[in-house]
Amino acid sequence: MTTPPSTPLDFSYETRPARVVFRPGAAVTATPGEVARLGLHRVLVVCGGRGEETARSVADALGDSCAGLHAGARMHVPAEVADKAVEVARATGADGCVAVGGGSAIGLGKAIALRTGLPLIAVPSTYSGSEMTSVWGLTENGVKSTGRDTRVQPRSVVYDPELTLGLPVPLSVTSGINALAHAAEALYAPDRSPLVSLMAEEGVRAMAGALPEVAAAPGDPEARGRALYGAWLCGACLGATTMGLHHKLCHVLGGTFGLPHAETHTVVLPYVLAHNAPAAPDAIAVLSRALATDDVPHALRELAGGLGAPRTLAELGLREADLAPAAEQVAAQSYPNPREVTAHGVLGLLTAAYEGWEPRG
């Protein structure tokens, strides 16, 4: 018996031109080839302070094709950080950019691409998925704005599981759940399609299976490879669809209330899925299959919490007095979601996530 399609057979799907190379060691062995394939001769390598050593090895492998290394990336791409990087790219005469690191480093590469039109190559070292999207983000005066632009979509993505061997377990777990959130919301996105649903299901299965293995043996290259494979698929779902309540809520909690990105996704996801479940039975059915459970919100919360991830918004520093303003802000914006978004409904789910109650719809 074949599995019935989980999405209506009425869709549009666009394939964007991006090349993916996935191989242990690829950061050093494949990046120079990707630079050459794009006809580039002087690329600027960008990274964050903690990722400088890894980025240096990529820069060294590039030899004469490297115009310089700029280790200025910071979380949420502050405008002055973007300005500085653009200045460095122009001063070095770079004809392209290679971003090595997590979502913050790739975000800085995207800021350069957006302003200068330089082609971007991404070498990700977390499971954030930014490398598979045309979404950019920039923070100015404490307010984060995001947009979509094909210029920032990396032309080539080099996935190297070896880069993630040193990703600390707590960050591996929360970054992995961040990836699962992309797949989960893609399953009920208005622009979902059968191919996205297949990628989402396989991505969730791979990531959820890999995380306990990564936590038990962080240096196991095979477990790391499976997690990164899941991150690729989940990131591709993010790039192909429009996200709903979960991503909007995390955006507000991070942008306005300063909560950490991956940890916030981890705490909030089970509560949003419990909230949306009655209006998204097909998405929940796919997630149930992928997670081998009949209670998706509970299973996700146990997966992350059982591996030591935070379970409440209170632990992340949110104050009780922030709940109502956050709910108002999330309800005031417009974005697609399977269930109607009201301030009352969001406040209910935020309160449950703040207290750490069992997620229920």
Q: Which residues bind ligand NAD (CB under 6 A)?
A: 48, 50-51, 75-76, 101-105, 107, 125-126, 128-130, 133, 135, 137, 163-164, 166-167, 171, 175, 238, 261-262
DSSP string across 246-287:
HHHHHHHHHHTT---HHHHHHHHHHHHHHHHGGG-HHHHHHH
What's phi and psi for 189, nearest 5 deg?
-70, 150
Smallest gap, in angstroms, from Cβ of residue 8 to ligand NAD?
A: 26
Nearer to ligand NAD, 175 or 276 (CB): 175
Measured at CB, which residue is nearest to ligand NAD?
Answer: 103
Decide if 181 contacts 165 (C-beta within 8 A).
Answer: no
Select 307 or 347, whichever has its Cβ closest to ligand NAD: 307
Burial of 38 (0-12, 13-18, 19+ CB in 10 A): middle
Q: 231-256 in b/e burial notation, b at 16+ Cβ within 10 A?
A: bbbbbbbbbbbebbbbbbbbbbbbbb
Q: Minimum Å distance from CB 346 to ligand NAD?
A: 20
Cβ at position 247, least distance to ligand NAD in Å: 9
Query: Looking at beta carbons only, is 160 or 322 nearer to ligand NAD?
Result: 160
Q: Output the smallest distance, CB 284 to ligand NAD, in A.
A: 23
Closer Cβ to ligand NAD, 167 or 286, answer by number: 167
Cβ nearer to ligand NAD, comparing 50 with 289: 50
**Cα–Cα distance between 143 and 169 in angstroms, integer?**
30
| Residue 335 Cβ vs ligand NAD, minimum distance, rounded to whole Å | 15
Measure the CA–CA gap between 109 and 103, rounded to whole angstroms: 10
